[in-house]
Amino acid sequence: MSETAKQAALRVGVLGIGSMGRHHVRNARALDGFELVAVADPSGDRFGVAGGLTVLPDVESLIEEGLDAAIVAVPTVYHEDAALKLAAAGVHTMIEKPLSGSVESGERIAKAFDEAGLVGAVGYVERCNPALLDMRRRIAEGQLGEVYQVVTRRQSPYPARISDVGVVKDLATHDVDLAAWIAGSPYELVFAQTAHRSGRAHEDMVTVSGRFQNGVLVSNLVNWLTPFKERLTVVTGEHGALVADTALGDLTFYENGSFPVEWDQIAAFRGVSEGQVTRYALQKREPLAVEQANFRDAINGDANNHVTMEQGLQALKVTEAILQSAASGNSVRIP
């Protein structure tokens, strides 16, 4: 347990105990330094996770329980209302991604927590995936040398729980955040195309090609129409490629080969050849537990690992640029 976790337990409430919120309830109940004291959901407790707690009807009743911290896991359309009320009540808050439904709304939320001097966090759980944590460490230590490109693929069938946003703001926002985090640089430019293939109001497929401010290239492929689940991040650099399968928490290194090229016709081409392949053994802690621990530690003064609302706002700006690019057919620079 960290030193911050040894302080007096924080009184925590969870707003929204549905498909995602139920997992927050389970982890908050188990985390050292958290005392789960209240849950709220106007739809009730369909997953039976409240235990001995009364299921409260709204954010106002949650606040009345005297909270130090809250986790918001309601649909995106309700984020701003809940967040502003929690900020006004002096409650540190982590909001499930995305921060909100629009940049303007996200700015109001971030400003409210900043002016109140509160910890405001965004639930980008992929940053807590063991494969990505180890990938980022290895890149920082120079294992890949110069980084050339970050590629992500996030594909799966449509989740019936999502109805208020499309695949860009629900799924691609994960890749936007993690890719910039891995590259160590904000997005500079994006060109995107979307498709509506399943008859719903929002887009269900997107392809993104872009560049970070540090010159690293990026590609994101995301959809809700693939009959299997894929969560893959590939970072290619001068010494090889690191491949993270975040669905399994696996990380593999494909090293450039060191054998000389003996075929004259291709020897003139300055490329690479296949080399050693290494799959790393990683300690695999549940990412959501790590995410909540980072939020707890930030409240207790160790604000090094949580995703801030400013970072969540930047991801929101990129997703809106992606949608703008898809609508206009032009590349868009990120403000």
What CATH number has the domain bearing residue 218?
Answer: 3.30.360.10
Residues 150 and 15 in one domain: no
**133 with 246: CB under 8 angstroms?**
no
**Whole-number percent of the chain with pLDDT over 70:** 93
* pLDDT value for 257: 85
- pLDDT grade, residue 158 (50/70/90)? confident
Measure Cα distances from 264 to 201, 219, 268, 272 in Å: 55, 33, 7, 15
Could you read off the pLDDT of 15-39 as tens digits, one per residue?
A: 999 999 999 999 999 999 999 999 9
The reply to whether 87 and 165 lie within a common domain is: no
- Antiparallel, parallel or unpaired: β 250-256 and 274-280: antiparallel
What average pLDDT is seen over the chain? 93
Share of the chain above pLDDT 90, in %: 87
Together in a domain, 204 and 237: yes
Mean pLDDT of 203-212: 97
- Mean pLDDT, residues 218-240: 97
Same domain, yes or no: 196 and 256? yes
Query: Over 90: is that where the pLDDT of 164 sits?
Result: no
Question: 10 pLDDT exceeds 70?
Answer: yes
Total structural domains within the chain: 2
Residue entry with tokens 């392809």: 207
Give strand ranges (E) for 167-295: 187-195, 205-212, 217-223, 225-237, 240-245, 250-256, 274-280
Total H helices, total E strands in the chain? 10, 15
Whether the per-residue pLDDT at 128 is higher than 60: the answer is yes
pLDDT confidence band for 266 (50 / 70 / 90) = low
Q: Which two tokens stand for residue 158?
A: 């449509």
Task: Give the domain range for residue 14.
Answer: 4-124+288-307
Q: pLDDT by residue (tens digit) across 86-121?
A: 999 999 999 999 999 999 999 999 999 999 999 999
Q: Alpha helix (H) ranges present in 149-246?
A: 167, 173-183
Contact criterion met (CB below 8 Å) for 28 and 39: no
